[in-house]
Chain A
Amino acid sequence: MDIFLHQIQKSYQSPVLRGLTYRFRSGETYAVTGPSGCGKTTLLRIILGLETADKGTCTRGRFSAVFQENRLLESYSAVQNAALVLPRREKDWNLPFPWELYGSKYKRKNIAAGELSLILPWDSLNQPVSALSGGMKRRCAICRAMLSPSDAILMDEPFTGLDEDTKNHVITYIKKRKGNRTLIFTTHQMDDLAKMKAISLPLDSPTLY
Chain B
Amino acid sequence: MQKSRMRTCLFLLFWLAVWQTASFFIDNSIFLVGPLEVLKALAAQLPTLRFWQTAGSSFLRIGGGFLLAFFAGIFLGALSFQCSFLRDLLNPLILTMKSVPVASFVILALIWAGSRNLAVLISFIVVFPMIYSGTIDGLSSTDSSLLEMARVFHLPLLTKIFYLYRQALLPYLISACKTAMGLSFKSGIAAEVIGTPDYSIGERLYMAKISLNTADLFAWTLVVILLCALFERMIFFLLNLLNRCKTASDDCSVLPLKK
- Interface residues of A, Cβ cutoff 8 Å to B: 48-50, 62-65, 67, 69, 71, 73, 75-77, 79-80, 84-85, 87-88, 102-103, 106, 109-110, 113-114, 117, 125-126, 128, 144, 148
Contact = CB atoms under 8 A, between A and B. Distances in A.
B129 to A, nearest CB: 30
19 contacts: A64-B152, A67-B145, A67-B148, A71-B149, A73-B167, A76-B246, A76-B250, A77-B250, A77-B252, A84-B153, A85-B155, A87-B154, A106-B253, A109-B252, A109-B253, A109-B254, A110-B257, A113-B254, A126-B252
B189 to A, nearest CB: 39
> Secondary structure at chain B's binding surface: helix, strand, loop or mixed?
helix
A67 B145 CA distance: 9
B162 to A, nearest CB: 10
Contacts of A65: 149, 152-153
A79 B151 contact: no
Interface of B: 145-146, 148-149, 151-156, 159, 163-164, 167, 246, 249-255, 257
Given A71-B146, A76-B163, A80-B249, A126 B254 contact: yes
Residue among A77, A102, A125 with the most chain B CB within 10 A? A77
Nearest to A111: B257
Contacts of A106: 252-255
Contacts, number: 68
Contact of A79 (B146, B153, B164, B254): B254
A103 B255 CA distance: 9
A69 B145 contact: yes
A117 B81 CA distance: 40
A80 B252 CA distance: 8
A148 B153 contact: yes
Contacts of A103: 255
A63 B148 CA distance: 13
B145 A80 contact: no
A89 to B, nearest CB: 11
Contacts of A80: 249-250, 252
A158 to B, nearest CB: 15
A48 B148 CA distance: 10
A109 to B, nearest CB: 5
A128 B250 contact: yes
B152 A110 contact: no
Contacts of A148: 153
Contact of A114 (B167, B246, B257): B257
Contacts of B153: 64-65, 84-85, 144, 148
Nearest to B164: A73
A194 to B, nearest CB: 29
Contacts of B246: 75-76
B121 to A, nearest CB: 39
A125 B145 contact: no
B250 to A, nearest CB: 6
Nearest to B257: A114
Contacts of A128: 250
A180 B98 CA distance: 59
Contact of B167 (A50, A69, A75): A75
A76 B151 CA distance: 19
A148 B156 CA distance: 14
A88 B254 contact: no
B155 A84 contact: yes
Contacts of A71: 145-146, 148-149
Contact of B257 (A77, A84, A85, A113): A113
The 3 closest A-B pairs by CB, nearest first: A71-B149, A113-B254, A85-B153
Nearest to B146: A71
Given A80-B249, A87-B154, A125 B149 contact: no
